[in-house]
Chains A and B, each alone.
Chain A
Amino acid sequence: MLAALIIVFREVFEAGLIVGIVLAVTRAVPNRNRWIGGGVLGGVLAACIVAAFTGALSQLFAGMGQELFNAAILAIAVIMLTWHNVWMAHHGRQIAGEMRAMGQAVADGSKPLLALAVVVGVAVLREGSEVALFLYGVAASDGGSAPNLAIGGLIGLALGAGVCLLTYFGLMRIPQRALFTTTTVLITLLAAGMAAQAVAFLERANLLTPLDTVVWDSGWLLSEGSIAGRTLHTLIGYTDQPTQMQLVVYATVLLATFMLMRFTRSQPATRGVATG
């Protein structure tokens, strides 16, 4: 039972962190629960579908289907996160700050919500498909331990939800004025980390071979397998053996986000005020 708990918790943990951050980011946006909930639900459904077709997915692209699939959905998440940041820099302050432009805010606010719902869905899908496979295996084996394992899995799932709530309420303790900057930084690092992970998948598939030398090994200091390592892996993309390409892509995403946010902010961001 404990083994099942740990297996499920480890998978749900990452998704829990991401959903918690997204909830904090959207805290002032009306209807956010519907969007985020939709993202989670969509992710769960997609996870079940992916789990059911894992065998077929694996056989695609000369056995590298899983790797390509993971890289692709991570890339989608990176684009959505970056777009959210840029959009928020452009005209998010009215929404995040005060609620005076209600009508416009609802209409405008649903755009980045869609992006973030996709991010949540992708996070749940990635982690959830493994949980689904594991629990399906448990259900399929007719040994007497199956109910025990299922209970362990459910507790693991609940603990993952706990991580999500902890992240959310932790971020909520940050004063409102600082929250916007904090979440922007968090989302940017999250995106850069996901991009580096996507690179890792492409490298494993032998599709991306330039600059694949490992730059350092900090496993002795902080192993990627430890709880702290896993947390940092999700939040900022920490990896104990990054390749040159991973570092280049990481830096590129950070720089691109920074430039895009600066660039768009310099334009008059008055639409929300003018129509509100």
Chain B
Amino acid sequence: MATVHRMIRKATLVAVCGMAMSAVSPSQAQQASEIHLTYSKGQFQPTEVRAPADKPITFRVKNLDAKAMEFESKSLRVEKVVAANSEGIVNVRALKPGRYEFYDDFNEKARGALTVQ
């Protein structure tokens, strides 16, 4: 878990720096915490991720498989097709603490969850 924490912290730092450097509109620069997910052989990696509450979140979902997947979550209100061997970016609004499950809509065996605290 500590490694995940560290990863997220590092990812957040990268995200913040990235946003500071790129000329994005002020609305986009709300310091989203970034979460990296890989999808390969029909499974998410990692399957459990964490993020702080009351802060927008950006998922970066890297699909390493040879077929498309759809990153979906009812509770997060997201739905995004990620083509084979490519990366999808999914924005999520600031969330209340809780557990939010996500899955591949094309493959119900692939599941994971985001814990917001």
Chain A contact residues, CB within 8 Å of chain B: 3, 7, 51, 54-55, 58-59, 62-64, 66, 129-130, 133-134, 136-137, 140-141, 200, 203-206, 209, 212, 214, 223-225, 241
List chain A residues, Cβ under 8 A from B74: 223-225
User: Given A7-B106, A225-B74, are A133 and B28 neighbors across the interface (CB < 8 Å)?
Assistant: no
List chain B residues, Cβ under 8 A from A58: 81-83, 86, 88
Question: Which stretch from B6-14, B47-55, B64-72 is at the chain A interface?
Answer: B64-72
* Distance of A141 Cα from B67 Cα, bound (Å): 8
* Distance of A255 Cα from B52 Cα, bound (Å): 40
Which residues of chain B in 31-89 are interfacial with respect to chain A, using CB atoms and an 8 Å cutoff? 66-68, 70, 74, 77-78, 80-89
* Count class of interface residues, chain B: 20 to 34
Cβ contact within 8 Å between B93 and A136: no
B115 at the interface (CB under 8 A from A): no
Cβ contact within 8 Å between A206 and B27: yes
Cβ contact within 8 Å between A133 and B88: no
Helix, strand, loop or mixed for chain A's interface? Answer: helix
> Can you name the residue of chain B whose Cβ is closest to the Cβ of A54?
B83
21 A-B pairs with C-beta separation under 8 A: A3-B108, A7-B105, A7-B106, A54-B68, A55-B83, A58-B88, A59-B86, A63-B87, A63-B89, A64-B89, A64-B91, A130-B81, A133-B67, A133-B68, A137-B67, A137-B84, A137-B106, A204-B90, A205-B91, A224-B74, A241-B77
